[in-house]
Amino acid sequence: MGKVIFGVDLGGTTVKMGYFDTEGNVKDKWEIPTRKDENGKNILPDIAASIKKKMAEQGMEKNDVIGVGIGVPGPVDANGVIYKAANLGWDVFSVKEELAVLLGGIPVEAGNDANVAALGEMWQGGGRGYKNLVAVTLGTGVGGGIIVEGKILTGATGAGGEIGHIHIVEDEPETCGCGNHGCLEQYASATGIARLAKRRLAKDDKASVLRSGEISAKTVFDAVKAGDELAKEVAKEFGMYLGKGLAAVACVVNPEIFVIGGGVSKAGDVLFEYIVDEYKKYVFRGSRDAKFALATLGNDAGIYGAAKLVLG
């Protein structure tokens, strides 16, 4: 048996796990529940136990395992120290060292979950073949992961790639989850797209299929595909804000490619019709030819990226 790497994606409800060969082929994947009680003190022991069990089942010895990578939902610095993860009840400690001890000295690497997922998309997903990449997750919020020369850009306090909080709109009355007003996330997330649609519907009486039934990012883009003019106006506004935000990102890091994932990306290539022209309009010419692609690994991006963390 060739050497393997374990990848762990620690979420608020479940821990996704898998192991990979060095070529990036997933050999097995599974999940365990995230036990958040008692300030999450069981989480790392549970993960270590699950890895050891898998190793025993597969007849793996310690030196068959190159290492274990883990993505965690909070800011993680370049030394694998997490600075609080409220969602898990965790305070400040070295995830990297603590998990390595629990695994009897198998090397561990740790990173922020969004950044690690970006690395996964670079390794085996929509960004394959590129080393300078920005992964954009359009879900409940807008997350980002910046990869520079093949490495995660962590930042001084693990807040690198927080592109959802770039200020985009003046005079926004509603407050973003971060406490500011007018963040990109307020317009380009799934929630944000629904907000734009509701505001557009309230503006006048223009006919739209969106006037009946649920309003969500999915129903908006379904309506766009069905030719609904009002939905297209909403998509245009979304694309203008996101294009402008990604142009700002490109003026800073000048990526080769943007890889768009998260629930909103299920709308598919139609997104690019609304994002790319606006991006090109606002960006500096040196970044005008950046590529755009859809993420392809879905919920597995985290375990792929965690494994890649170990390979460096």
Please, which residues bridge with residue 13 across strands? none
With CB under 8 A, what is the number of residues at the site for its own copies?
A: 44
Please, which residues bridge with residue 20 across strands? 5, 26
Both tokens of 189, joined, read: 């997330």
Contact present, 117 and 301 (Cβ < 8 Å): yes
State which of residues 282, 292, 296, 311 lies at the interface with its own copies (CB under 8 A): 282
Q: Which is nearer to its own copies, 131 or 218 (CB)?
A: 131
- The answer to whether residue 167 forms part of the interface with its own copies (CB under 8 A) is yes
User: Which part of the chain contacts its own copies (CB under 8 A), choosing from 15-23, 114-122, 146-154, 217-225?
Assistant: 146-154
| Residues 100-139, mask of contacts with its own copies (x by CB under 8 A) | --------------------------------x-------
Q: At what angle do helices 217-225 and 270-282 cross, to 10 degrees?
A: 100
- The answer to whether residue 284 forms part of the interface with its own copies (CB under 8 A) is yes
Sheet of 14-21: strand order equals 26-33, 14-21, 4-10, 65-72, 108-112
Q: In this structure, what is the dihedral angle of CA atoms 143, 161, 269, 177, given to the nearest 10 degrees?
A: 30
| Residues 208-247, mask of contacts with its own copies (x by CB under 8 A) | ------------------------------------x--x
- The answer to whether residue 285 forms part of the interface with its own copies (CB under 8 A) is yes
Give the position of tokens 């709109």. 169
| Residues 6-45, mask of contacts with its own copies (x by CB under 8 A) | ----------------------------------------
State which of residues 59, 129, 179, 227 lies at the interface with its own copies (CB under 8 A): 179
Q: Are strands 108-112 and 14-21 parallel, antiparallel or unpaired?
A: unpaired
- The answer to whether residue 78 forms part of the interface with its own copies (CB under 8 A) is yes
- The answer to whether residue 155 forms part of the interface with its own copies (CB under 8 A) is yes
- The answer to whether residue 149 forms part of the interface with its own copies (CB under 8 A) is yes
Q: Where are the beta strands (DSSP E) in 98-224?
A: 108-112, 133-138, 142-148, 151-152
Smallest distance from the beta carbon of 112 to its own copies, in angstroms?
A: 11
- Scored b (16 or more CB within 10 A) or e, 213-232 reads eebbbbbbbebbeeebebbb
Smallest distance from the beta carbon of 255 to its own copies, in angstroms?
A: 6
- The answer to whether residue 158 forms part of the interface with its own copies (CB under 8 A) is yes
Q: Are strands 81-85 and 90-94 parallel, antiparallel or unpaired?
A: antiparallel
| Residues 243-272, mask of contacts with its own copies (x by CB under 8 A) | -x--xxxxxxxxxx----------------
Type of residue at 37: D
* CA gap 68, 136 in Å, rounded: 25
Residue numbers of the site for its own copies (CB under 8 A)?
A: 75, 78, 132, 144, 146, 148-149, 153-163, 165-167, 178-180, 244, 247-256, 281-287, 289-290
